[in-house]
């Protein structure tokens, strides 16, 4: 496949900046795909056939062609949580082989679902991990998705995620993105219901020539809907991060509130950080805020730690780890948290 | 947030701006854009040969370039209907009494000669495609300051003009820069020699009277090392049923340790497509300050750009945009940090109402050499009803770790809590709301020259019946 344009900005800006999208060629396309492992109650997991309809047929994914190919070719899983029940699903994606899969989650009224994605492993040759997870969160239902990416350096990692929230629905998304060589993540969250609520926190840590390309869109259609995006991370060597975050308040989303914040800690002069925090608004009775900041480690913090006997490298380690750790601590699985922390320590 | 009654915000009483004079000219180019028209403009203005080559090269670029996909809808603009050159029936005068009566009255109504008498060091007035009046105080001339129309500068200071001509805004930059390069006419030239401080401002006023015409004035300001000047630009046009086009270019060269403040109020009528380009390059320790108000026009695309090329250079942008019914004002600013210890502050406010759309589009780029750069950006948008639109589209690119950067933006309506707080201090509800709206634009209005601040306050005249919602 030739170069495709990923993570297109919902409202393009100056062309010469070359930030309106990310051109990417897919890796390891000749390899056949392997199914991920899924662990959960048998009664809620069924097979999702190739070509099965999307929850929102208008969702274009990180790239429309790549998503369509994935939908047409890849079998997947359908996870349906009955009303007023509570379930958990664990998914492991092994990066030693090419993966292409789908996960469709239906969380019925009043139900609760916790999903854990754990991605690790590395292939001998360049390979592609690509999956599409969709969430249809019914009225007053709740979904929590915790993802830890510890993939190896030969992996191109692409995630397409779409979420539909009904009245009073609640979603909490946590990403810890540490691995993978080229990470292209597209999150489209549709706040259709009244008084629905979503939080999406992403921690990342990049070194060498790693790329993190995040696209998050919060579309507020429902009244009194609330969204919050928070990305924070650190870059060293020649790592690059692009953040495209959009809060889109549609006409009628009265009383809604949205916030987005992108914080980058820059550890070497050769890193590159791009931030595009968009606010689109067609409704006056809303509150939208965004903030972006980038810079080095706070000299006062560094001085304080060094005055307590730590050398500069140790002090930097502690500061970076303490920034990311609050998000890692929310994963809730001790073994995975330890693996993530070990990966953080190895990278700094 | 409960539903509230909406405030009726009065549209600007455009009064003096909308008074049309009889459409008279000594020469008018045919509508449309052809090589013959470009050659005619050049011949009419008796320009040097290199300028013809430049114009024709620009026309070629214009014809080959597409319209950017990110700008607002400009399908109502048809270049085949635009007269790119309208020469008024008068040559440039240096004595106000010699300017024809009807043109003089227009500028009198806009307060230009009065301002000259009281608070300006020099004045230029452009009517359609040509400058009709220019003056400068004698003592500044003695210090070597040049303030004249760009055509005169092209003849009398050709070397300087040629050296700098469209080097900051090359015709290849975008389609409207290419159009400007092909058909430019009129504009101001300012040269401030090293070390000279021009203590009171210079002002140029651009008035487009002709229906279906384009105005393509070129402003070039060169502030030599250690010099200082404040330049004020005002623009207006009466409203016609046909579309008008403004595609000016402003090139500002701020040398080492020099300071330039560039204040502008663009108050075009609502049939105007305002596709203007402004850019400044700043040397070591130099400062560029932009104060920018965008009010009129049907569509505006305007993003003044500061290129900080010298160590310790500084840029300051203070802007306000007010979009009413039928308007799409896509404005903002661009700052590029290319050198160490450069600093920039951007403070942008916008108000949208009655179906108008106000967009802040910005760029903050910190290049690999800009170590110790510091930059702050603050954007605030106020929506006064639920049929309008307000978007913020910033791009922040950082290519070096040793920076201190902060960006924040807010969107929404006036907060109930703020009104409540003021009311608990004994202020009436209506006055509290009025105070909050005035307070919203106050950081901008205090930076404007007095007469423009008054104009802006008139522009945002609020009817304080009901609530501001």
Q: Give DSSP secondary structure letters for A113-124.
A: EEEEEEEEE--S
Entry pTM: 0.91
User: Is it the case that residue A335 has pLDDT exceeding 90?
Assistant: yes
Collapsing DSSP states into helix, strand and coil, what is residue A184?
strand
Min Cα–Cα distance to chain A from B359, Å: 9
The pLDDT value recorded for residue A160 is 98
The pLDDT value recorded for residue B210 is 72
pLDDT-derived band of residue A248, with 50, 70 and 90 as boundaries? very high
Min Cα–Cα distance to chain B from A213, Å: 14
Q: Which residue of B has its CA nearest to A225?
A: B1
Q: Which residue of A has its CA nearest to B334?
A: A14
- CB-CB under 8 Å, B68 with A15: yes
Residue among A11, A14, A237, A266 with most chain B CBs within 10 A, to mutate: A14
The pLDDT value recorded for residue B7 is 39
| Rg over CA atoms, chain A | 20
Min Cα–Cα distance to chain A from B408, Å: 4
Q: Shortest CB distance from B401 goes to which of A13, A267, A275?
A: A267
What is the rounded CA–CA span in Å between residue B129 and residue B25? 10
- CB-CB under 8 Å, A17 with B395: yes
Q: Which tens digit of pLDDT belongs to each residue from A288-306?
A: 999 888 889 988 999 999 9
The pLDDT value recorded for residue B116 is 63
Beta strands in A221-340 (DSSP E): 226-235, 240-249, 257-266, 272-281, 287-295
User: Is it the case that residue A75 has pLDDT exceeding 90?
Assistant: no
Collapsing DSSP states into helix, strand and coil, what is residue A335?
helix
Min Cα–Cα distance to chain B from A156, Å: 23
What is the number of residues in chain B?
A: 469
Residue among A206, A294, A298, A316 with most chain B CBs within 10 A, to mutate: A294
The pLDDT value recorded for residue B15 is 57
Do residues B245 and B212 make contact, with C-beta atoms less than 8 angstroms apart?
Answer: no
The pLDDT value recorded for residue B22 is 66
Q: Which tens digit of pLDDT belongs to each residue from A128-161?
A: 999 999 999 999 999 999 999 999 999 999 999 9
- CB-CB under 8 Å, B469 with A285: yes
Q: Which residue of A has its CA nearest to B380?
A: A289
The pLDDT value recorded for residue B214 is 86
What is the rounded CA–CA span in Å between residue B283 and residue B278? 17
User: Is it the case that residue A91 has pLDDT exceeding 90?
Assistant: yes
Residue among B392, B403, B404 with most chain A CBs within 10 A, to mutate: B392
Q: Shortest CB distance from B391 goes to which of A264, A280, A287?
A: A280
Q: What's the CA angle centered on A164, arms A160 and A170, to 5 degrees?
A: 110
- CB-CB under 8 Å, A264 with B384: no
- CB-CB under 8 Å, B398 with A292: no
The pLDDT value recorded for residue B112 is 65
- CB-CB under 8 Å, A255 with B393: no
Residue range A205-216: mean pLDDT, rounded: 97
What is the rounded CA–CA span in Å between residue B13 and residue B36? 41
Helix (H) or strand (E) holding B416: helix B416-424
Closest CA to A162 of A132, A140, A192, A193: A132
Collapsing DSSP states into helix, strand and coil, what is residue A276?
strand
pLDDT in tens, chain B (469 residues): 444 444 343 344 455 566 666 666 767 888 889 999 999 999 999 999 999 999 999 999 999 999 999 999 999 999 898 988 887 766 666 777 777 777 777 777 666 666 665 667 677 777 777 777 777 888 888 999 999 999 999 999 999 999 999 999 999 999 999 999 999 998 999 999 999 999 888 888 877 777 777 889 999 999 999 999 999 888 776 666 678 899 999 999 999 999 999 998 887 888 889 999 999 999 999 999 999 988 888 999 999 999 999 999 999 999 989 888 899 999 999 999 999 999 999 999 998 888 999 999 999 999 999 999 999 999 999 887 889 999 999 999 999 999 999 999 988 887 788 889 999 999 988 778 777 777 888 877 777 766 666 666 666 553 323 333 3
- CB-CB under 8 Å, A12 with B403: no
The pLDDT value recorded for residue B11 is 43
Strands B122-127 and A170-177: unpaired
Do residues B465 and B454 make contact, with C-beta atoms less than 8 angstroms apart?
Answer: no
The pLDDT value recorded for residue B5 is 45
Contacts of A249 in chain B (CB under 8 A): 411
Q: Which residue of A has its CA nearest to B367?
A: A272
Closest CA to B250 of B185, B168, B146, B369: B168
Q: Tell me what percent of the residues of chain A surpass a pLDDT of 70.
A: 100
Q: Which tens digit of pLDDT belongs to each residue from B396-439?
A: 999 999 999 999 998 888 778 888 999 999 998 877 877 777 78
| Interface predicted TM-score of the whole assembly (ipTM), two decimals | 0.93
Q: Shortest CB distance from B401 goes to which of A14, A271, A276?
A: A271
The pLDDT value recorded for residue B97 is 73
Contacts of B412 in chain A (CB under 8 A): 284, 286-288
The pLDDT value recorded for residue B454 is 67
Give me the residue spans of the domains in chain A. Answer: 4-298
Residue among B174, B330, B400, B418 with most chain A CBs within 10 A, to mutate: B400
Q: Which residues contact A159 (CB under 8 A, 6 or more apart)?
A: A62, A130, A131, A132, A133, A184, A185, A186, A187
User: Is it the case that residue A240 has pLDDT exceeding 70?
Assistant: yes
Contacts of B395 in chain A (CB under 8 A): 13-14, 17, 19, 274-276
What is the rounded CA–CA span in Å between residue B350 and residue A107? 41
Min Cα–Cα distance to chain A from B401, Å: 5
Collapsing DSSP states into helix, strand and coil, what is residue A259?
strand
The pLDDT value recorded for residue B318 is 94
């Amino acid at each position: 496949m030739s170069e495709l344009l990923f993570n297109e900005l919902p409202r393009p800006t100056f062309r010469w900046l070359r930030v309106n999208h990310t051109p990417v060629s897919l890796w390891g396309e000749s390899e056949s795909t392997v199914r991920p492992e899924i662990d959960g109650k048998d009664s809620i997991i069924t097979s999702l056939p190739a070509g099965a309809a999307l929850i929102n047929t208008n969702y274009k994914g990180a790239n429309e062609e790549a998503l369509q190919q994935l939908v047409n070719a890849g079998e997947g899983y359908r996870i349906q949580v009955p009303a007023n029940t509570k379930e958990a699903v664990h998914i492991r994606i092994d990066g030693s082989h090419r993966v292409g899969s789908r996960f469709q989650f239906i969380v019925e009224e009043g139900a609760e679902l916790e999903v854990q994605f754990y991605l690790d492993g590395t292939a001998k040759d360049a390979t592609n991990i690509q999956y599409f997870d969709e969430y249809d969160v019914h009225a007053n239902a709740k979904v929590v998705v915790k993802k830890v990416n510890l993939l190896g350096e030969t992996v191109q990692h692409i995630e397409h995620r779409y979420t539909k929230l009904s009245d009073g629905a609640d979603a909490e998304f946590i990403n810890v993105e540490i691995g993978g060589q080229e990470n292209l993540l597209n999150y489209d969250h549709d706040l259709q219901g009244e008084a629905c609520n979503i939080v999406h926190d992403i921690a990342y840590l990049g070194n060498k020539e790693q790329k993190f390309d995040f696209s998050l869109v919060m579309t507020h259609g429902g009244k009194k809907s609330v969204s919050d995006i928070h990305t924070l991370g650190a870059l060293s060597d020649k790592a690059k991060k692009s953040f495209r975050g959009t809060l889109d308040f549609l006409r009628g989303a009265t009383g809604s509130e949205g916030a987005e914040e992108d914080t980058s800690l820059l550890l070497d002069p050769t890193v590159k950080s791009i931030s595009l925090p968009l606010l689109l608004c067609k409704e006056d009775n809303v509150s939208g805020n965004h903030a972006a900041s980038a810079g080095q480690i706070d000299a006062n913090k560094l001085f304080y730690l060094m005055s307590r006997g730590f050398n500069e490298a140790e002090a930097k380690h502690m500061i970076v780890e303490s920034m990311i750790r609050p998000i890692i601590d929310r994963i809730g699985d001790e073994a995975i948290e330890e693996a993530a922390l070990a990966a953080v320590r190895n990278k700094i | 947030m409960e539903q509230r009654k909406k405030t009726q915000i009065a549209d600007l009483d455009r009064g003096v701006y909308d008074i049309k004079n009889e459409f008279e000219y000594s020469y008018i180019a045919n509508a449309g854009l052809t090589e013959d028209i470009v050659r005619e403009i050049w011949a009419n203005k008796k320009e040097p040969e290199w300028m013809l080559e430049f114009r024709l090269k620009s026309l070629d670029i214009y014809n080959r370039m597409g319209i950017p996909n990110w700008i607002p809808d400009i399908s109502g603009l048809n270049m085949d209907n635009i007269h790119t050159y309208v020469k008024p029936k008068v040559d440039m005068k240096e004595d106000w009494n010699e300017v024809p009566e009807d043109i003089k009255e227009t500028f009198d109504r806009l307060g230009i000669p009065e301002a000259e008498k009281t608070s300006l060091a020099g004045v230029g007035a452009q009517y359609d495609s040509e400058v009709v009046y220019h003056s400068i105080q004698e003592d500044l001339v003695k210090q070597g300051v040049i303030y004249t129309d760009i055509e005169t500068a092209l003849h009398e200071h050709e070397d300087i003009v040629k050296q700098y001509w469209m080097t900051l805004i090359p015709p290849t930059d975008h389609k409207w820069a290419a159009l400007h390069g092909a058909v430019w006419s009129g504009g101001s030239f300012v040269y401030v020699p090293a070390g000279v401080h021009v203590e009171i401002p210079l002002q140029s006023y651009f008035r487009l009277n002709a229906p279906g015409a384009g105005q393509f004035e070129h402003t070039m300001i060169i502030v030599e090392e250690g010099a200082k000047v404040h330049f004020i630009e005002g623009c207006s046009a009466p409203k016609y049923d046909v579309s008008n086009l403004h595609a000016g270019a402003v090139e500002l060269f701020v040398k080492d340790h020099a300071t330039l403040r560039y204040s502008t109020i663009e108050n075009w009528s609502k049939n105007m497509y305002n596709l203007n380009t402004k850019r400044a390059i700043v040397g070591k320790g130099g400062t560029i300050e932009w104060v920018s108000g965008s009010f009129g026009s049907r569509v505006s695309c305007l993003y003044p750009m500061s290129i900080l090329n010298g160590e310790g250079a500084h840029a300051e942008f203070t802007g306000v945009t007010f979009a009413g019914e039928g308007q799409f004002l896509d404005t903002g600013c661009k700052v590029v940090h290319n050198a160490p210890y450069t600093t920039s502050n951007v403070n942008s406010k916008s108000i949208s109402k009655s179906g108008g759309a106000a967009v802040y589009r910005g760029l903050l780029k910190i290049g690999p050499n800009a170590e110790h750069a510091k930059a702050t950006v603050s954007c605030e948008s106020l929506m006064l009803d639920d049929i309008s639109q307000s978007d913020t589209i910033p791009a922040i690119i950082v290519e070096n770790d040793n920076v201190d950067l902060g960006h924040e933006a807010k969107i929404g309506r006036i907060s109930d809590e703020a009104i409540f707080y003021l009311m608990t201090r004994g202020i009436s509800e209506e006055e509290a709301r009025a105070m909050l709206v005035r307070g919203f634009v106050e950081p901008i209005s205090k930076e404007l020259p007095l007469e423009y601040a008054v104009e802006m306050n008139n522009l945002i005249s609020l009817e304080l019946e009901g609530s501001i919602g």
